Structure 1
Amino acid sequence: MSTFFPWHQIDTVLIDMDGTLIDLHFDNYLWQQLVPQRYAERRGMALAAAKIEIDTHYHAVNGTLNWYCVDYWSEVLQLDIRALKQEILTKIQWRPHAIAFLAALQAAGKQRVLFTNAHPASVSVKDQRLGLRDHLDLMVSTHELGWSKESPHCWQALSARLAFDPARTLFIDDSERILKAAADYGIGYQLAIQRPDSHQPGQQITAFPVIDDYAELLPSIL
């Protein structure tokens, strides 16, 4: 699908964090490799068995705020998730041309809002590493709103928190399910990220416009 947007009809850009502004490799490595490894070591079990056990926990709360909650997983898995993150900080990286894209939005007078399901502790770690807030007008975690982006209640809560016109808003995310939730709420424009994790193949998304590099958008904004 075309990635052309009528920028003169867009006032606000809501941007997801993990997999959208930031390479998802950090989170995938944490949750799919490091956490199972430490879980297995702690319980003296095989890694394959640990992954099966953890996946059961993951699937039970997928799409809810608990799925994104550092404190929840620290308690359930009996692991210090915050400490594990500190071990792999070098894996926290911007997606290609993300900073240039945010600068172009600012120059064009657009409101730039980070809108993420990530726990505030996760946002803080990435902000400290990359200086996120230096490139954004506002950062909102859905944990502050009480609902994940998958829920229509979340979008209603956001509208009470943030002054924006849904019809004149672009939402960028790496999850097709969440993009659909935004469209169902009435967000005027959606954009998907094709390859959230730079170490993994791209995903197949057909319902929304897709990009792999923010450089694809720069000529139309500048």
Structure 2
Amino acid sequence: MALLPWHNIETVLLDMDGTLLDLHFDNQFWLEHIPQKLAEKEGKNIELCRQEMRESYAKVEGQIEWYCLDYWTEQLGLDIVEAKQEIAHLISLRPDTIPFLDALKAKNKKVVLVTNAHPGSLSLKVEKTQLDTHIDELISTHQFGVTKESQLLWERLQAHLQFDPAKTLFVDDSQAILDAAKTYGIGYTLGITNPDSKKPENKLHGHITTNDYLSFLDDIC
């Protein structure tokens, strides 16, 4: 595993779902729970509903609508926030998250959560995990109107946070988003290969990768 030059990193920007939290909740919610609720609501076959939802997701993938609870509430005629509450017991931190965050804070790194998740989803997950007590600032990209896939987001984020890209580490589990950060000029990127604890690891290319933050704890300085 390649080493990160922690002595040169001042700011750490962190994704949430799959990066700090187990992605199992989100995969279960969008790929199983929502199709099941639609099948019950519309009297359709569950597999047909799964296929229709996959097609609906693909149409807006990477756009702000993909992450917007209001958009899906309107599109599907379901109360998405209420539906999330129904399986909120599945929301969980990765087991290596808190030791990693605390090590960063102990070395005076500025730690910022930057998620594409809707503010309603962010609030629910903070309520369930108390993640906010280990992070300096929580940001939903909805406040900027664009997602991390967009270069405009990175421009607006830098203007907001005033970070030095050359001394910034960005951590995410998405190939497209990691690539966007690197294109913008973020000095260091770290890809998470095991976002969902119930699924096989992913392959990410062009970035340092890890499946365990604990491997960095002795090196953070």
TM-score category, normalised to shorter length: over 0.9
* 1:176 aligned residue: 175
Q: Partners of 1:34 and 1:217 in 2: how far apart?
A: 35
Q: Partners of 1:79 and 1:87 in 2: how far apart?
A: 13
What residue identity is the alignment partner of 1:100? P
1:25, CA displacement in angstroms?
0.3
- 2:89 is the alignment partner of 1:94: no
Q: Partners of 2:174 and 2:205 in 1: how far apart?
A: 12
Q: Partners of 1:206 and 1:59 in 2: how far apart?
A: 22
Contact 1:3 1:211 in 2 (8 A): no
Query: Equivalent residue of 1:183, what SS?
Result: helix
1:71, CA displacement in angstroms?
0.7
1:96, CA displacement in angstroms?
2.1
Q: Partners of 2:45 and 2:175 in 1: how far apart?
A: 34
| Range with greater deviation from structure 2 (212-221 or 171-180) | 212-221
- 2:94 is the alignment partner of 1:81: no
* 1:147 aligned residue: 146
What residue identity is the alignment partner of 1:15? L
Gaps of 5+ in 2: none
What does 1:46-61 align with in structure 2 at a 5 Å threshold? 46-61=45-60
Query: Equivalent residue of 2:35, what SS?
Result: helix
Contact 1:96 1:214 in 2 (8 A): no
What does 1:69-148 align with in structure 2 at a 5 Å threshold? 69-148=68-147
1:219, CA displacement in angstroms?
1.2
Query: Equivalent residue of 2:219, what SS?
Result: helix
Query: Equivalent residue of 1:206, what SS?
Result: coil
Per-residue displacement from partner, 1:116-148 (whole Å, max 9, x unpaired)? 100000100000001111000001110001110
Q: Partners of 1:206 and 1:154 in 2: how far apart?
A: 22
- Runs of 4+ in structure 1 off by over 6 angstroms are none
What residue identity is the alignment partner of 1:188? G
Contact 1:3 1:217 in 2 (8 A): no
| Range with greater deviation from structure 2 (46-55 or 29-38) | 46-55
* 2:201 aligned residue: 202
Query: Equivalent residue of 1:150, what SS?
Result: coil
Contact 1:14 1:112 in 2 (8 A): yes
Per-residue displacement from partner, 1:100-127 (whole Å, max 9, x unpaired)? 1000000101000000100000100000
1:97, CA displacement in angstroms?
1.4
TM-score (norm 1): 0.98
Q: Partners of 2:109 and 2:52 in 1: how far apart?
A: 45
Q: Partners of 2:79 and 2:197 in 1: how far apart?
A: 26
What residue identity is the alignment partner of 2:216? L
1:213, CA displacement in angstroms?
1.3
Query: Equivalent residue of 1:219, what SS?
Result: coil
* 2:24 aligned residue: 25
Query: Equivalent residue of 1:172, what SS?
Result: strand
* 1:15 aligned residue: 14
Contact 2:175 2:205 in 1 (8 A): no
May I ask how many residue pairs the two structures share in their alignment? 221
What residue identity is the alignment partner of 1:180? D
